[in-house]
Amino acid sequence: MMTRAEWMGQATLFRAPVTALDEPWVADMPSLMSEEADTPSDEEPSSHRPKLRAIFISDLHIGTPGFQAEALLDFLKHHESDMLYLVGDIVDGWQLRRRWFWPQSHNDVVQKLLRRARKGCRVMYVPGNHDEFARHFVGHAFGGVEVMHEATHTMATGQKLWVVHGDYFDGVIQCAKWLAYVGDWLYELTLRINRHLNSWRARMGMDYWSLSAYLKLKVKKAVNFISDFEVAVAHEAQRRGFDGVVCGHIHHAEIRDVNGTLYCNDGDWVESRTALVEHRDGRLEIVRWGGGGQGMGVNSTTSEKAVAA
């Protein structure tokens, strides 16, 4: 695993003043601008899959033990796209501020994303609450990655989707941030238990299973929170004149109609290993990645049906 000193020794993340940032460690972050030379092993493998119009991923939480970096690297190797949206909580500033954790696989993911931008894919980064430090750099492009508060994605059908992380619709984040920090600690504890559980399941020849996702769907208040969140985000997208919305934040991948507005959540890469993709014909699909070049579409829709009143 790379030490903090080794990682910081490469370069600084953004060559701009950072005195206004809340996280003092950000000033020493290594370069997301670093242009490492491509090697033969870096090349994307040939794939039978057609190139996608767009990929949406969020809640990677790079810098935490829960981030499933190898799975994401494998997913990216097998899926190319014209556009790639990073929909918040890409780097986990909250966790890095408490404890430094940055293995080589996490650095590989950062370099893979930068390589996509260098090779012609348009990469857009919409920060969330865990990487809120990046919001100070909205309007800039670093290493070909455009940083923005929110984005508008125009589908192949001409419909417009509002792309936003979603933390502004979380009352805990907005009104009681201290409680969000406590919840984050408890969530990390659940993920730690989940890693040990799945290590045992793997030895027994059993598939990956998410304890935290199971608990969220079994606890009535959590289910109600997810539903309220989806309605609030979809309502705001409709109010702004969009046909639908793409968000993250709650780690619950889904595509559904909410009162005539298309609601899409791309999930996360600490529990569910999911991404939202748009195919060439405008069809949207949530892909749950199993690794080894294998993925399963868990929710898909044609946009025309999804937004029909």
Tell me the DSSP string of the chain: ---HHHHHTT--S-SS--TT-S-GGGGGPPPSS--PPP-GGGSPPP-SSPPEEEEEE----BTSTT--HHHHHHHHHT--EEEEEE-S-SB-HHHHHHS----HHHHHHHHHHHHHHHTT-EEEE---STTGGGGGGTT-EETTEEE-S-EEEE-TTS-EEEE---GGG-HHHHH-HHHHHHHHHHHHHHHHHHHHHHHHHHHTTPPP--HHHHHHHHSHHHHHHHHHHHHHHHHHHHHTT-SEEEE-SSS--EEEEETTEEEEE---SSSS-EEEEE-TTS-EEEEEEEETTEEEEEEEE-HHHHT--
What pLDDT band is residue 11 in, cutting at 50, 70 and 90?
very low
Residue 45 confidence (pLDDT) = 53
Smallest CA-to-CA distance from 121 within 161, 85, 158 is with 85
pLDDT by residue (tens digit) across 237-281?
A: 999 999 999 999 999 999 999 999 999 999 999 988 999 999 999
Backbone φ, ψ for residue 11 (5° rounding): 180, 180
Residue pair 280/52 in contact by the 8 Å Cβ criterion: yes
User: How do 52-57 and 81-86 pair as beta strands?
Assistant: parallel
How much is the pTM?
Answer: 0.75
- Per-residue pLDDT, 194: 72
- In this model, does residue 301 exceed pLDDT 90? no
Residue 173: per-residue pLDDT: 39
Which residues make Cβ contacts (< 8 Å) with residue 269, sequence separation at least 6? 57, 59, 60, 61, 67, 68, 71, 72
Over residues 159-179, mean pLDDT = 71
pLDDT for 22 beyond 70: no
Q: Please give the pLDDT value at position 199.
A: 74
How many angstroms separate the CA atoms of 113 and 83, rounded? 11
Indicate the average pLDDT of the chain: 79
| Distances in whole angstroms, Cα of residue 214 to Cα of each of 58, 66, 166, 194 | 20, 16, 22, 11
CB 122 within 8 A of CB 158: no
**Cα four-point dihedral sign 108, 274, 231, 229:** negative
**Whether pLDDT at 165 is above 60:** yes
Higher-pLDDT residue of 20 and 254 is 254
Any idea which residue has 């529990």 for tokens?
271
Query: What token pair was written down for 143?
Result: 């290493």
Angstrom distances, CA of residue 104 to CA of 1, 31, 129, 177: 6, 15, 24, 31
Average pLDDT over residues 281-292: 90
Most confident of 3-17, 83-97, 195-209: 83-97
Mean pLDDT to the nearest integer, 139-151: 96
Q: Give the strand order in the sheet containing 274-278.
A: 141-142, 145-147, 122-125, 81-86, 52-57, 274-278, 284-291, 294-301
